[in-house]
Structure 1
Amino acid sequence: MSENDADVVDLLVSQHGQIKHATERVLGSSGPDKLDSFRDLVRLLAVHEAAEEEVIHPAARQHSVSDEVVDRRLQEERQAEHMLAELYEIGVQHQDFDAKFRVFAEGVTEHTEREEKEEFGPLLLHASQVERVRLARVVRFAEAIAPTSPYVRVGESAMANLLTGPPLGLFDRLRNAIRDARIQSREA
């Protein structure tokens, strides 16, 4: 099967594995390597979660997944984004970073397990292979447009960077781009 024929569920499960590996790298690193690993994780999560929010969750709702289940996953994702922002604010060298990061990583693992069971399973059962391939293409598009660093400066003032900067700004920029791509793919 070529990359263009990949199933979105396979792609997302693979990303879940990458996220788990990235969290382990953060915990196993120190110094500049820890900061680089954390930045890589933020980018990976931003791409993944934005794609899920804009592509997968709506598809899951269309294919027999209750609003309650999807809304719980969305709430977990928002909590994770805010935890990432807090971790970013304290910095990887802070004495509390590792303990807080472990709590974050455990929550992410639990979230991915629930997603795979409660959303991906129904997608496999109810969405056609053609639709799952189309959804995978949109997810890959999100990966392609994501900045290589989650820490893009958008203004000179501290307030400008706080309002639109890392990591929440990256999540928002990716959601908007994916939403636009999804609309364009429907019109094509």
Structure 2
Amino acid sequence: MTSTNDRTLAARLPQCDIVALLLDQHATIKELFAQVESGQGDAKQEAFDQLRALLAVHEVGEELVVRPVAERTAGEKEAKARNEEEADATKVLKDLEKMDVSGPDFDRAIAQFKQAVTDHASHEEAEEFPALLENCTEEHRHVMGERLLKAEHLAPTHPHPTAAGKPAALAMTGPFASMMDRARDAMRG
């Protein structure tokens, strides 16, 4: 699915619908991957920093808001598989964050990571999102969307593998990690 298709489908849903918000974020993630792949120097680093921050908050939001509902609507096995993928992705993202974006190792690693993230998003779009649309009222999806935005606002902007894939750990450590990440980001930028 292209980012244009994601945005087209998202635009058909009510404002602040959880599925619309996530589809829009998926589109932005795809665009940022393209910018990282085609970028050079500072522009490449900036695109990666934006991608890293979006992926970090996006995954926290999904784990805290979507997965508990997805367990009931798409099934426990589906929700567990997505959380495991997110935990793996967080570890890779942490490794990527330590690499020099101008090196060939980074280019190889980001290409593999892009494929894993694309596969993960495809699973969500094929399994979780249709289940949410079918089994949750528009009002419930709107409330979930509001919760997602709040969770992402408080989420860390860097990967934290020890809490990834564990919603209870994220809920407990996320706000402190977020504060530290945002302070670190401010000092850098």
TM-score between both structures, scaled by the size of structure 2:
0.75
Matched residues, percent identical? 32
The residue aligned with 1:31 is 41
Residue 177 of structure 1 deviates from its aligned partner by: 7.5
**Structure 1 unmatched ranges of 5 or more:** 151-165, 181-188
Larger CA Rg, structure 1 vs 2: 1
* Aligned partner of 1:61 among 66, 71, 91: 71
Query: What is the CA deviation profile of residues 142-168 of structure 1, one whole-angstrom value per residue up to 9, with x for unaligned ones?
Result: 343457xx3xxxxxxxxxxxxxxx432
Equivalenced residues, count: 159
The residue aligned with 1:95 is 104
Does 2:122 match 1:113?
A: yes
Residue 87 of structure 1 deviates from its aligned partner by: 1.0
User: Is 2:44–2:101's contact at 8 Å kept on the other side of the alignment?
Assistant: yes
The residue aligned with 1:176 is 171
Q: Distance in 1 between matches of 2:45 and 2:51?
A: 10
Q: Distance in 1 between matches of 2:105 and 2:90?
A: 18
- Following TM superposition, the consecutive aligned residue runs of length 4 or more in structure 1 with deviations greater than 6 angstroms are 177-180
Residue 141 of structure 1 deviates from its aligned partner by: 1.6
Q: Distance in 2 between matches of 1:146 and 1:168?
A: 11
Q: Distance in 2 between matches of 1:177 and 1:25?
A: 34
Aligned-CA RMSD value: 2.6
TM-score between both structures, scaled by the size of structure 1:
0.76
Larger RCO: 1 or 2 (CA < 8 Å, sep 6+): 1
* Secondary structure of 1:168's aligned partner: coil
**Structure 2 unmatched ranges of 5 or more:** 1-10, 176-189
